[in-house]
Amino acid sequence: MNPADSFLAAQGYGTARRDPLPQDAGHRRYTRLSDGPRPALLMDCSGAPAVGVTPEEDLLPFIRLARHIAGIGLSVPVILAEDTPNGLLLVEDLGPATHAQLLDGGADPQPLYEAAAETLAALHAAPPPPGLPGWEAPRMAATAGLTFLDWWWPASFGVQPSPAIRDEFAAAMRAMLAPFEGAGSLVHRDYFPANLIDLPGRSGPRRTGILDFQDAATGHPAYDLVSLVEDARRDVAPHIREAAIGRYLAARPELEEDAFRAAFAAQAAQRHLRVAALWVRLDRRDNKPAYLKHGPRCWALLGRALQHPSTAPLAAFLDRHVPAGLRRNPDQLPRMPAA
């Protein structure tokens, strides 16, 4: 019997029906379990994301953050059982009604986005747990380089960027982001409709369940609001975007709006450039070309962010090296074989 079967049998789910959930760009696998003691999901991290990372090391951040977020009164899946050495968790099934599914089904978007913004404000207002990694200018610049310079650049220009270009890009990104360091907020880093779930039996900030939070860090809270209202995978109408931002700011009156919007633009510029290039990596390295359909949206969102003065360092770099006509998916070239 494999570890997953043994784990489920020990928890009373040995004969439960198993329905694998669609897998996204990540490595974690989820299976919906029915006909067991209670509705539950099996979370399988046995395929750890990198060499040298054990399944247990991959799983522990989820456990830690689930307990933290539940402890501040917000809704996350309750952990029902753990097999950390094998990277397995049994968690509460909050149901199928993610915000993404509701939106795709024609639900009114404004209540969902405003509810998500209210929950996000509560998440950010609470002090983060100690020991989280930083999501500040140096790391944000480095991660943007890993997609934009390592994948988008050679796919677009046919050559690797020079060391001088790499240094200039890193300096521009750091200069743009450095003014907004030190906010010290818990940043989910992927706070968008597919990772949010509607819980109509709960009220206030608990109405929106939070999923996929294991990669959280500390940084500027505007980053998560960008993820929500300038979604890389779906269009958000301008009036919905502004309603959600307004709901968030109303819930956090201690924030100065102009300064927050300046940070919002800088965080948006980093995210949209990084993710636009991430689609190229998923195509060329992982043979997942379907993600390229989101490229035009990300480049358009980047263009809007670059209109704000706070993004001037990155805008100047792009004006020098990436003319506006090249700010798009690269022309199709042969993809790398899957590793």
In tens, the pLDDT along 88-116 reads 999 999 988 899 999 999 999 999 999 99
Determine the average pLDDT of the residues in 218-228. Answer: 98
What is the amino acid identity at position 119?
T
Phi, psi of 204 (to 5 degrees): 60, -145
Q: In terms of domains, do 112 and 16 share one? A: no
Residues 120, 224: contact at Cβ < 8 Å?
yes
- Residue 333 is encoded by which pair of tokens? 């070239």
pLDDT > 90 in the chain, percent: 86
End position of a domain, from candidates 92, 123, 147: 92
Q: In terms of domains, do 37 and 120 share one? A: no
List of residues 6+ apart from 167 with CB closer than 8 A: none
**pLDDT for 1:** 76
Q: Is residue 333 part of a domain?
A: no
Determine the average pLDDT of the residues in 127-156. Answer: 97
Stronger pLDDT, 58 or 316, i.e. the higher one: 316
**pLDDT for 25:** 55
**pLDDT for 331:** 84
What is d(CA 77, CA 65) in angstroms, rounded to the nearest whole number?
11
pLDDT value at 34 more than 80: yes
pLDDT value at 339 more than 50: no
Domain that holds residue 14: 3-92
Place of tokens 């209670």: 38
41-95 pLDDT, tens digit each: 999 988 766 656 788 888 899 999 999 999 999 999 999 999 999 999 999 999 8
- Specify the range with the lowest mean pLDDT, choosing from 35-44, 213-222, 327-336: 327-336
CATH of the domain at 218: 3.90.1200.10
117-137 pLDDT, tens digit each: 999 999 999 999 999 999 999
Phi, psi of 88 (to 5 degrees): -120, 135
Q: How high is the mean pLDDT of the chain? A: 93
End position of a domain, from candidates 58, 92, 126: 92
Q: How many domains does the chain have?
A: 2
197-212 pLDDT, tens digit each: 999 999 999 999 999 9
Compute the C-alpha angle 92/217/182, nearest 5°.
145
pLDDT value at 337 more than 70: no
Tally the C-alpha atoms within 13 A of residue 228's C-alpha that lie toward its C-beta: 33
pLDDT value at 335 more than 70: no
**pLDDT for 57:** 85
Q: In terms of domains, do 59 and 103 share one? A: no
Q: In terms of domains, do 83 and 155 share one? A: no
User: 10 Å Cβ neighbour count for 147?
Assistant: 20
What is the amino acid identity at position 159?
V
Determine the average pLDDT of the residues in 280-289. Answer: 95
Determine the average pLDDT of the residues in 268-287. Answer: 97
Q: In terms of domains, do 259 and 292 share one? A: yes
Q: Is residue 184 part of a domain?
A: yes
pLDDT value at 226 more than 70: yes
Question: Alpha helices of the chain — where are they, by DSSP H?
Answer: 3-10, 55-71, 99-104, 109-125, 137-147, 153-157, 163-177, 222-229, 238-251, 257-284, 295-305, 312-321
Q: Is residue 337 part of a domain?
A: no
Determine the average pLDDT of the residues in 161-183. Answer: 97
What is d(CA 209, CA 75) in angstroms, rounded to the nearest whole number?
5
Phi, psi of 46 (to 5 degrees): -65, -25
Q: In terms of domains, do 87 and 147 share one? A: no
pLDDT value at 336 more than 80: no
**pLDDT for 126:** 97
Element (H, E) at 185: strand 185-187
Distance of CA 170 to the CA centre of its chain: 22
Give, rounded to a whole angstrom, the gap between the first and last alpha carbons of the chain.
Answer: 29
b vs e for 300-321, b when ≥16 Cβ sit within 10 Å of the residue's Cβ?
Answer: bbbeebbebebbebbbebbeee
End position of a domain, from candidates 74, 92, 110: 92
pLDDT band with cut points at 50, 70 and 90 for residue 286: very high
Question: What is the model's pTM?
Answer: 0.91
**DSSP secondary structure of 118-153:** HHHHHHHHSPPPTTPPEESHHHHHHHHHHHIIIIIH
pLDDT > 70 in the chain, percent: 95
